[in-house]
């Protein structure tokens, strides 16, 4: 089978069209993922991972500690456990005292 120039051109344009649509679709997927991430963050931000109630944030010597308003769970951000572990015994007791009832 011999390809006429017009057929080759046609193939070329179909291919371009495919590439264009593929790019659009990939972009759409990327946006969907971003929207989903945004939705999940809005749903869960500053909510207790155990019981789902509001977290209360306190700042103790630059360490932000999130304490659940319901189940009393205490949550730390990245690096904060290390920061807490560097506190001396007296500082640690003061931190615990903040939460004593």
In the complex, which residues of this chain contact Zn ion (CB under 5 A)? 48, 50-51, 68, 70-71, 73
Q: How many CA atoms lie within 13 A of 54 on its CB side?
A: 3
State the minimum distance, in angstroms, from the CB of residue 92 to Zn ion.
Answer: 22
State the minimum distance, in angstroms, from the CB of residue 70 to Zn ion.
Answer: 5
| Rounded Cα gap, residues 100 and 33, in angstroms | 42
Nearer to Zn ion among residue 75 and residue 87 (C-beta): 75
Nearer to Zn ion among residue 8 and residue 50 (C-beta): 50
The DSSP line for 40-56 is HHHHHTTB-TTT-PBEE
Structure tokens at 16: 């371009």
Residue with tokens 């679709």: 25
Nearer to Zn ion among residue 24 and residue 53 (C-beta): 53
State the minimum distance, in angstroms, from the CB of residue 75 to Zn ion.
Answer: 9
């Amino acid at each position: 089978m011999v390809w006429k120039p017009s057929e080759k051109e046609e193939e070329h344009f179909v291919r371009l069209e495919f590439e264009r649509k593929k790019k659009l679709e990939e972009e759409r997927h990327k946006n969907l993922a971003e929207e989903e991430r945004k939705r999940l963050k809005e749903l869960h931000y500053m909510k207790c991972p155990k019981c789902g109630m509001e977290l209360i944030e306190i700042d103790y010597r630059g360490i932000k500690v999130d304490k659940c308003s319901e189940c009393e769970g205490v949550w730390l951000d990245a690096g904060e456990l290390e920061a807490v572990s560097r506190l001396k015994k007296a500082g640690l007791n003061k931190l615990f005292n903040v939460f004593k009832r």
